[in-house]
């Protein structure tokens, strides 16, 4: 990793900015990375996840709000096939087609039916057979095996795609969309 490191999001044990690459401490078998605003996560070959950096909302998933300058293992999470990071939340797709999220939940970003911030992963309510996920600023979306898409969280500008702007604490179906194979989420 390289760049701004004020919260340890480069994972090298310091908070010193780096203009060139620096190895992440203890990560030797990563197959995917995801970066949030001030935190970073890696999915390892053993299908577990390790995260580091800012943790004020529990987005590192280790059960604390302690900032980490080196990777910590996300508690109780295995069988992960994809990870995504939003501003202050992180989500993982498991090999059983379920989605698990942790961190900031003020807008229902975690999809568990509440606005309670979570320091360890919680399962997204009523979401199964997921094949791909995407995390935006305060919302998250998923592609379902039947080619539909579902989103949850912040929705002041219609980002959930269900024809409203009220937001949702649980997944809602994106209206009029079929044959979906990939999805992405932005600000």
Q: What is the pLDDT of residue 156?
A: 86
Contacts of 162 (CB under 8 A, 6+ apart): 151, 168, 172, 173, 174, 175
pLDDT under 70: residue ranges of the chain: none
Q: What is the rounded CA–CA span in Å between residue 8 and residue 4?
A: 9
Which pLDDT does position 98 carry in this prediction? 98
| pLDDT for the residue numbered 60 | 98
* DSSP-assigned states of every residue in 167-180: -EEEEEEPTT--S-
CA dihedral 89, 67, 28, 50 (to 10 degrees): -40
CA–CA distance, 116 with 51 (Å, rounded to integer): 21
How does pLDDT run across 76-122, given as a tens digit for each residue?
Answer: 999 999 999 999 999 999 999 999 999 999 999 999 999 999 999 99
């Amino acid at each position: 990793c390289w760049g701004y490191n004020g919260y340890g999001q480069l994972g090298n044990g310091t908070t010193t900015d780096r203009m060139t690459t620096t190895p992440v401490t203890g990560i030797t078998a990563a197959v995917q990375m995801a970066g949030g605003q001030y935190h970073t996560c890696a999915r390892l070959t053993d299908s577990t996840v390790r995260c580091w950096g800012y943790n004020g909302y529990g987005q590192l998933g280790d059960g604390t709000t302690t900032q980490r300058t080196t990777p910590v293992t996300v508690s109780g999470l295995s069988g992960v096939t994809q990870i995504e990071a939003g501003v202050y939340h992180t989500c993982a797709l498991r090999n059983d087609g379920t989605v698990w999220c942790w961190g900031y939940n003020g807008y229902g970003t975690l999809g568990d039916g509440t606005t309670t911030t979570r320091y360890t992963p919680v399962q997204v309510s009523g979401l199964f057979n997921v094949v791909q996920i995407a995390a935006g600023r305060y919302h998250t979306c998923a592609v379902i095996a039947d080619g539909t898409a579902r989103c949850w969280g912040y929705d002041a500008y219609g980002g959930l795609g269900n024809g409203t702007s009220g937001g949702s604490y649980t997944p809602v179906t994106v209206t009029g969309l079929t044959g979906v194979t990939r999805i992405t989420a932005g600000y």
